[in-house]
């Protein structure tokens, strides 16, 4: 059961989210998400997906048709409360030989603390205009 995994911190949940994304692993991806009807996921250029099952099906589809990519994260921000954390991060996707495959993406990620640990309740990603990228010295991943 994917839902049995416990993330003790929002950082653990975020790390698991990006590991699953890089590995194209839908089961691991869905251990990160809260099993709620109003969780939301917006992929770059895509519609709003609402609810655990809809989001799961979309990830499965993406991973079934996608290529495995290297992912680099930088310039994170965080706003924390006792039961919820908002982070944003810039995502850079590249092929194995480090060729960028698209414009960078900015993601807003929200995690909520439950009895089952920290889970993602929202992921909103959109492409960033290339001219807006500033210093990239804070590589996180």
User: Which residues of the shown chain bind a second copy in the complex (CB under 8 A)?
Assistant: 34, 36, 38-40, 42, 44-48, 50, 77-79, 81-84, 86, 88, 90, 106, 108, 110, 112-113, 121-122, 124, 126-129, 132-133
Q: How many CB atoms lie within 10 A of CB 55?
A: 20
94: β partners? 70, 100
Q: How far is the CB of 115 from a second copy (least distance, A)?
A: 13
Q: DSSP secondary-structure letter at 100?
A: B
Minimum gap (Å) between residue 97 Cβ and a second copy: 27
CA–CA dist 36, 52 (Å, integer) = 6
Q: Which CB atom, from 32 or from 34, has the smaller least distance to a second copy?
A: 34
- 17 versus 24: smaller Cβ distance to a second copy: 17
**Cα–Cα distance for residue pair 138/35, rounded to 1 Å:** 33
């Amino acid at each position: 059961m994917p839902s049995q995994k416990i993330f003790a911190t929002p950082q653990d949940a975020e790390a698991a989210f990006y590991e699953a994304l890089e590995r194209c692993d839908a089961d691991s991806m869905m251990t990160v998400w809260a099993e709620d009807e109003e969780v939301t996921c917006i992929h770059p250029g895509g519609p709003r997906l609402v609810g655990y099952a809809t989001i799961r099906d979309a990830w499965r589809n993406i991973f079934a048709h996608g290529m495995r990519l290297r992912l680099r994260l930088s310039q994170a921000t965080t706003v924390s409360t006792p039961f919820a954390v908002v982070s944003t991060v810039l995502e850079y996707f590249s092929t194995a030989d480090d060729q960028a495959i698209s414009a960078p993406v900015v993601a807003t990620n929200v995690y909520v603390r439950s009895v089952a640990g920290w889970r993602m309740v929202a992921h909103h990603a959109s492409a960033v205009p290339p001219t807006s990228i500033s210093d990239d010295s804070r590589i996180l991943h």
